[in-house]
Homo-oligomer: A and B are copies of this chain.
Amino acid sequence: MTDFRDRSKSLLEMATEASLEAIENAGAEEEDFDAIYFANMASGAFNSQTAVASAIADQLNLVPAGAHRIENGPASGGSAIRSAFMGVASGIQDLVLVVGAEKMSDVSGAIATDILASMNHPKAEYKHGVPMPGMGALFTRLYMEQYGVTEDQLAAAAVKNHTNATKNPKAQLRHKPATIQGVKDSIMIADPIRLYHTCPVTDGSAALVVCPADKAGEFTDKPIQIVGSGQATDIQALEEREDPLKLRSVEIAANEAFEMAGLKREDIDVIETHDAFITLELAEIEAAGFFQPGEAGKATLEGKTAIDGELPVNPSGGLKARGHAVGATGIAQAVEIITQLRSEAGERQVKDARTGFCCNFGGFGNNTVIHILRRM
């Protein structure tokens, strides 16, 4: 993956850089690639570029490999991994590049906020000017009230992720450690969401090479297997859901992935989850079945989700501090899990990590893609 702090490169340059790193890491030959899945949310709006997947095939000299783009809002990366997984599982494709990228800094922050808001319900939400931070604020207020989650608990999750990011040389906010008081004093974005509760606007790309498990040994001494894949949708408008705090798409996608993997929650050693707002980290690991509803904040404050805790969450720094280059995010989560499972995470290494879990969350939870990865 690229350095998520770097804003100097174009969409295509970033996608090429991450792809070449992945291809080189696998020692794969250009002519052996059957397909490219490119995850990206909004290159048309951000960069006036469409049909970018085939441009990437050309840039990487992977022509005539088939290529298309997968768009699923912030869950585009997870959807692209799932597409590659099914392409290989179908027997039709044997060597596949998955690459996600987003170049958000070509537009102003206000325009970026508008482009991101375009994933909300057009009549119930977008038309009324509700951007993502507004959705995050409504959700967070209800979540705090319903479960008695405190400002300190939310701040503890943000501090953990900022701390983890200081140990990740690719993280966007790696030079920005945070304190609980600092988070609580940061400026209000959308009450009760503060600056240090939200992810930044990010440019970045991440890539993977996927092949059949029985061929993985040809490309690496440390193969990592996709043992579970799950995806689910939910009612789009938050207000129309029976219980807006219940992230049903996370629950269903997690159950599907665990069933495919034949594993249990306690088999998971490390988690990357989709903390676009820090509240979502807590709500997602609850919905995925790792904590009881309302309990994740307390566990976080007690250090249970730190790198040296019982169940490390977002050792990369998460969307919060590694950054959230939207189309790249789901793939960056998998890159972090793979790095952990290969024991190559340096200062942020989770001890004895053998099995990892990625939760890539789209819209405001109306589309979640989950993967479980395991050391072979």
Contacts and interface: CB of A to CB of B under 8 A. Distances in A.
Interface in A208-241: 229, 231-236
A71 B69 contact: yes
Contact of A54 (B86, B122, B126, B236): B236
A50 B69 contact: no
A64 B119 contact: no
Given A51-B362, A115-B50, A118-B44, A70 B68 contact: yes
A367 interface: yes
A72 interface: yes
B72 A76 contact: no
Given A44-B44, A45-B44, A48-B126, A53 B86 contact: no
B235 A63 contact: yes
B42 A50 contact: yes
B68 A69 contact: no
Nearest to A34: B231
Interface in A274-317: none
Interface of A is mostly: mixed
B70 A119 contact: no
A121 interface: yes
- Closest 3 A-B residue pairs measured CB to CB? A66-B231, A51-B73, A51-B119
B233 A64 contact: yes
Contacts of A64: 232-234, 248-249, 252
B235 A58 contact: yes
A41 interface: yes
Given A44-B45, A45-B45, A50 B66 contact: no
Nearest to A12: B122
A233 B118 contact: no
B69 A72 contact: yes
Contacts of A248: 64
19 contacts: A49-B118, A51-B362, A53-B71, A53-B72, A54-B362, A54-B367, A55-B121, A55-B366, A57-B233, A58-B236, A63-B232, A63-B233, A64-B252, A66-B253, A67-B233, A68-B76, A70-B70, A86-B93, A90-B90
Which of A35, A49, A57, A233: most chain B Cβ within 10 A?
A233
A212 to B, nearest CB: 12
B54 A50 contact: no
A297 to B, nearest CB: 26
Interface in A44-95: 44-45, 48-51, 53-55, 57-58, 62-73, 75-76, 79, 82-83, 85-87, 89-93
Contact of A65 (B119, B229, B233, B363): B233
A247 B42 CA distance: 29
Given A50-B118, A63-B235, 15 more contacts: A41-B50, A51-B118, A51-B119, A51-B363, A54-B72, A55-B122, A58-B234, A58-B235, A64-B234, A64-B249, A66-B253, A69-B71, A86-B87, A86-B92, A90-B90
Contacts of A82: 66
A63 to B, nearest CB: 5
Contacts of A249: 64
A350 interface: no
Given A44-B118, A90-B86, A126-B48, A233 B70 contact: no
Contacts of A89: 90-92
A31 to B, nearest CB: 13
